[in-house]
Amino acid sequence: MKIGGLQKVSLIDYPGKISAIIFTQGCNFLCPYCHNPELVDPKYYQPCLSEKDILHFLGTRRGKLDAVTITGGEPTLQKNLIPFIQKIRKMSFAVKLDSNASRPDVLESLIKEKLLDFIALDVKAPLEKYPGLVGAPVSADAIRDSIRLVLKANMPHEFRTTVVTSLLTPLDILEIVNEIAGAKRYALQRFKPVRTLDQKFLRERTYPEDELLKLKEQAERTISWVVIR
C-alpha cells in the first residue's frame, strides 16, 4: 500500500462513528480543483508511511476508534487494497471507502467479499462532461457501472459532488441527481479555493449559499437526504 497520510481521528468523516482516515497516494484523475495535490501529482509526493506502522497504530486504538476511512488519491488503484482492508477488519473496525468511481471491478470485489461498511462515491459531473473535467482518460461506462453497483449494494452509502462554479451549472447538478436516483444520501460539497492542483482555482469564487440551497431543495425531490457541506 502506498500511504501518503494519516489523520488519527475524525468525528465527521464517517457518519455516526469515530474514525481514523488513511490517505492513499496516487490517482488516475487530475481534477484541477483537487485539494490534495500531494496525493495526486507525483512532483508533490512525500515519502510514504509504513503500512506496518499504520496497522500498529490502529491496533493501539481498539476500543477508542469505531472505524477507518480509506481515501486518497484513489484507493482502488492500490494493488494490496483488499488484503489491507482484511487486516483492518480483523481488528473489528468498520471500513468506509471513498472512491472516484473509476474502478467498478474493484468495487464489485469489495462489495461481494463484504469488506466495506460504507461507500462514498464522488460523482464529479454529468457523465458526458468527465473527459473535460478530470484531466485524464476516463470511461463514462465505468463511472455509470460504479454508480449502479453502489445503488444495488445493501449497505450505507453516499454520493457527493464538489460544486465548482466555473465547471458545473445548476442543470449539471440536476443531471447528476437523475443519474443517482435512488441514492440514500447526496452531499453537495462547497468548493474551497485552498491548496488546489491547478493554482488558477485559488481565484475561483464559491457558489453563493442561496444557490446551493436551491440546488439542495431541487435534489430533495429525487433524493430524501441531501446535505450541503
Question: Could you give the CA distance from residue 21 to residue 65 in angstroms, rounded to a whole number?
Answer: 11
From residue 13, alpha-carbon distances to 57, 58, 195 in Å are: 19, 17, 20
Place of cell 482484511: 86
**What is the predicted pLDDT for the residue at 57?**
98
Q: Which of 1, 83, 89 is nearest to 49 (CA)?
A: 1
DSSP, collapsed to helix, strand or coil, labels residue 34 as: coil
194-203 tens-digit pLDDT: 999 999 999 9
Please name the residues in contact with 32: beta carbons below 8 A apart, sequence gap of 6 or more.
Answer: 135, 196, 197, 198, 200, 201
User: What pTM does this model have?
Assistant: 0.96
Mean pLDDT of the chain: 97
DSSP letter assigned to residue 206 = P
Please name the residues in contact with 52: beta carbons below 8 A apart, sequence gap of 6 or more.
Answer: none
**What is the predicted pLDDT for the residue at 191?**
96
**What is the predicted pLDDT for the residue at 20?**
99
* Mean pLDDT, range 164-190, rounded to an integer: 97
Provide the pLDDT confidence category of residue 32 given band limits of 50, 70 and 90: very high
Neighbouring-strand partners of residue 19: 10, 67
206-229 tens-digit pLDDT: 999 999 999 999 999 999 999 999
**What is the predicted pLDDT for the residue at 157?**
98
* Mean pLDDT, range 149-171, rounded to an integer: 97
List the domain range (segments joined by +) for residue 222: 3-228
112-122 tens-digit pLDDT: 999 999 999 99
**What is the predicted pLDDT for the residue at 65?**
99
**What is the predicted pLDDT for the residue at 94?**
99
Q: Which of 106, 107, 80, 87 is nearest to 25 (CA)?
A: 80
Query: What CATH number should be reported for the domain holding residue 8?
Result: 3.20.20.70
**What is the predicted pLDDT for the residue at 188?**
98
Place of cell 476500543: 63
The dihedral over CA atoms of 60, 64, 68, 73, expressed in degrees to the nearest 10, equals -80
**What is the predicted pLDDT for the residue at 162?**
98
Count of domains forming the chain = 1
Please name the residues in contact with 34: beta carbons below 8 A apart, sequence gap of 6 or more.
Answer: 27, 40, 196, 197
* Mean pLDDT, range 79-90, rounded to an integer: 98
